[in-house]
Amino acid sequence: MVDDSFKIQNKNSKEILKKLRTKIPNFKKLEINNNLGIDFQLMIVFYSKIRHLSVHEGGIVPNKELFIKKVLDEANISSKKEYSQYIAQKVDDFFEKDMLILKTIHFKEKNELGVNIEMNTDRFNDLLGKLGSYIYMIQIEVLKYTLE
């Protein structure tokens, strides 16, 4: 039976996640400490900001430090220096010269035959895969909650 206090008035993603974090036992903990090693509570904000940059700013970051601060502030973890460095690294992974790059060369090296190779990473599909994992995790936790 579904808990009536689970009703959500404004159906935006922030309110839904807030409700899930307060109503479902261990949900908040699982977001941060999961088998994928992804802090979804932080990364969902990061992904949202990337989407915003892609749609509204043409992928251009006018101020990288301000971008990092906004991500950390919205995720409510701005006081932790290690997260700032973590997000700075993620920003560097997604951006070149303050421009959002969803397809980027991951690295160049020589293979075992001495031939130069380039390994390409499709950041867009990487994002979709991680978001899909997050959605699946949410689905499992909601099912556990409703079946108890």
Q: How far is the C-alpha of 140 from the C-alpha of 148, rounded, in Å?
A: 12
pLDDT tens digits, residue range 2-50? Answer: 566 666 666 777 888 888 888 888 888 888 888 888 888 888 888 888 8
pLDDT tens digits, residue range 37-59? Answer: 888 888 888 888 888 887 887 77
Contact between 50 and 99 under an 8 Å Cβ cutoff? The reply is no
Would the pLDDT of 72 be above 70? yes
Structure-block tokens of residue 84:
């700032």
| Residue 108 DSSP label | E
Confidence grade of residue 100 (pLDDT, cut at 50, 70, 90) = low
pLDDT tens digits, residue range 77-89? Answer: 755 677 777 777 7
Question: What is the pLDDT, as a whole number, of residue 136?
Answer: 92
- Count CB atoms within 10 A of the CB of residue 19: 16
> What is the average pLDDT score of the chain?
78
pTM recorded for the entire structure: 0.69
Question: What is the pLDDT, as a whole number, of residue 65?
Answer: 81
Would the pLDDT of 133 be above 80? yes
Question: What is the pLDDT, as a whole number, of residue 97?
Answer: 67
Dump the DSSP string for 120-141: EEEHHHHHHHHHHHHHHHHHHH
Question: What is the pLDDT, as a whole number, of residue 146?
Answer: 84
- In the numeric block, the tokens 């995790």 are attached to 137
